[in-house]
Amino acid sequence: MSAYHLIIDGKAVGTEECFPVLNPATEQVFAQCPKATEEHLDQAVAAARRAFPSWSLTADSERSRLIHAVGDALEAHSDELAKLLTLEQGKPMGGFAGLGAGFEMGGVVAWCHATADLELPVEVIQDNDEARIEVHRKPLGVVGSITPWNFPLLIAIWHIIPALRSGNTVILKPSEYTPLTTLRAAQIINEILPPGVFNVIAGDGSLGAAMSTHPDINKIVFTGSTPTGKKIMASAAGNLKRLTLELGGNDAAIVLPDTDVQAAAPKIFATAMINNGQTCAALKRLYVHEDIYEDMCQALAAIANSVTTGDGSGDVDFGPIQNKAQYDKVCALAAEAKASGARFLSGGEPTEGVGYFFPVTIVADIADDTRLVREEPFGPILPVLKFSDVEDALRRANDSANGLGGSVWSSDVERATALASRLECGTAWVNNHAMIQPDAPFGGVKESGIGVEFGRYGLEEYTSIQTLQISKA
Ligand code: NDP
């Protein structure tokens, strides 16, 4: 038996089978999660399909009001949800620079309210004696959302709120590693929304694929790895599902020689290690000009050697890596970098004992072809690479299949901006990295994804255009 339930058609649904949920700090099972079958998926899709006509025709102002109410309700349950996030995801409540579970809940509430206030007004293309031509935005129908384990609730909100705001109904499947915060939040949200508008199912192995081939789902929004994103794209072809794919990143940052190292290092550290490095748009490859290379390495190492990693239920800067597979990957990338002769300035070895703990690790003098540089580590480990020629740094930064974010750091903002615009990525920052906000579009180019999230551009992704041409002659 589980204390948690699926939510289908506004009702809490128990299941015959459950699967265990681990606390990554203790490796102990702390709860059982209901395990949905494909029958549950079909029931959820049918409920969403039934709810669609009425929800899509609900007045825009009423949908906006209900989504504000969702934001208020989640805020009222912030402490409870944040504690659950710490248990299943591992992140501390406060954490380094205050970017822990409390920060995630702050984002949840902020994104609800900002998205509730977005609008997609009718655009008039022509209005003369001959004709009036209007462009309307129509909801797509039933949206399937597949969410990851790094920011379980924040990313769920990024998927579902714009989908609902624009008149779609939703079925969400959380990661099997972190399903509970989402199930609990779905209960709270369903006290506000009409039945069937927002359904949540959980499972551990085949539901994602069943959703991406389901003939009655009109769109999939997925945040996760590039290989899984490619599989979704292939299986979505059956009914030409619309897609938003927010996939891996291996973001580069270029630090020009006129950068104030002492001022920039803490910001660079925070944006590389945000959420223990388990962030798609974290800074993951740092290219530093040779004139300030050693100073930057030492400044980053000093911060890395001063922070604490431990059980997120205590007063620590960073928690564990969320799951064993990711922990094993970080351990392997660190070991390979060490074997290649790279210089480790902090960390480098997994912490002994229980829990998926890996200390914050800064790696200098590392070759471009090392796996730690080529692949997204998605953990608390940052390679620092040296350059002498800016064009060479730009070429190396762009030499990646990924293109999520990138940044340039300099005291000459104009020069940095010109260089940043030449980075092949969806968001380019100057003197910052990984900064996002609800009204600025965010998404990847190349193999980092398709489409954008946030703001008006993100909202449009949950709609199709209907052109209305009214002849007057
Ligand atoms: P995956 O990218 O493999 O995603 C797992 C999710 O995808 C599960 O919910 C799974 O559902 C679903 N899924 C699997 N196969 C399919 C399919 N064919 N069609 C539809 N859905 C499918 O995540 P991992 O946890 O394995 O993480 C791997 C890497 O992804 C990490 O190392 C990291 O680099 C990256 N990542 C990126 C994130 C980001 O924010 N961009 C977030 C998390 C990870 P089911 O269990 O039902 O199969």
Please tell me the predicted confidence (pLDDT) of residue 2.
81
Contact 212, 220 (CB under 8 A): yes
Q: Residue 260: CB partners within 8 Å, gap ≥ 6?
A: 411
In this predicted model, what pLDDT tens digit does every residue of 403-461 receive, in sequence order?
999 999 999 999 999 999 999 999 999 999 999 999 999 999 999 999 999 999 999 99
Q: Supply the residues annotated as catalytic.
A: 246, 280
243 Cα distance to chain centroid: 15
In this predicted model, what pLDDT tens digit does every residue of 18-73 receive, in sequence order?
999 999 999 999 999 999 999 999 999 999 999 999 999 999 999 999 999 999 99
Among protein residues, the one whose CA lies closest to atom 37 of ligand 1: 224
Please tell me the predicted confidence (pLDDT) of residue 58.
98
**Cα 225 to averaged position of ligand 1 atoms, centre (Å):** 5
Q: Taking all residues of the chain, what is their mean pLDDT, rounded to a whole number?
A: 98
C-alpha–C-alpha distance, residues 388 and 290, integer Å: 6
**Cα 222 to averaged position of ligand 1 atoms, centre (Å):** 8
User: How close are the terminal C-alpha atoms of the chain, in Å?
Assistant: 68
Which of 88, 146, 279 should be mutated for ligand 1, with most atoms under 8 A from CB?
A: 146
What is the pLDDT confidence band of residue 473, given thresholds at 50, 70 and 90?
confident
In this predicted model, what pLDDT tens digit does every residue of 186-211 receive, in sequence order?
999 999 999 999 999 999 889 999 99
C-alpha–C-alpha distance, residues 106 and 114, integer Å: 12
**Cα 228 to averaged position of ligand 1 atoms, centre (Å):** 6
Which of 37, 219, 225, 331 should be mutated for ligand 1, with most atoms under 8 A from CB?
A: 225
What is the pLDDT confidence band of residue 1, given thresholds at 50, 70 and 90?
low
Q: What is the pTM of this model?
A: 0.98
In this predicted model, what pLDDT tens digit does every residue of 233-264 receive, in sequence order?
999 999 999 999 999 899 999 999 999 999 99
Neighbours of 243 (CB within 10 A): 18
CA distances to 160, 192, 463 from 62, rounded to whole Å, are 17, 12, 18
Task: Tell me which residues have their CB closer than 6 angstroms to ligand 1.
Answer: 146, 148-150, 173, 175-176, 203-209, 212, 223-225, 228, 231-232, 235, 246-248, 280, 326, 376, 378
In this predicted model, what pLDDT tens digit does every residue of 109-146 receive, in sequence order?
999 999 999 999 999 999 999 999 999 999 999 999 99
Q: For residue 361, give the 3-state DSSP assignment.
A: strand
Does pLDDT of 379 surpass 80? yes
Question: Residue ranges of the alpha helices (H) in 254-370?
Answer: 261-273, 293-304, 324-339
Neighbours of 369 (CB within 10 A): 8
**Cα 311 to averaged position of ligand 1 atoms, centre (Å):** 25
Q: Residue 369: CB partners within 8 Å, gap ≥ 6?
A: none
CA distances to 23, 75, 242 from 108, rounded to whole Å, are 22, 8, 25
What is the rounded average pLDDT of the residues 176-192?
Answer: 98
Please tell me the predicted confidence (pLDDT) of residue 384.
98
Token couple for 425: 């990525």
C-alpha–C-alpha distance, residues 384 and 286, integer Å: 5
Instruction: Return the percentage of the chain with pLDDT > 90, whole number.
Output: 99
Of 174, 142, 167, 135, the C-alpha closest to 241 is: 142
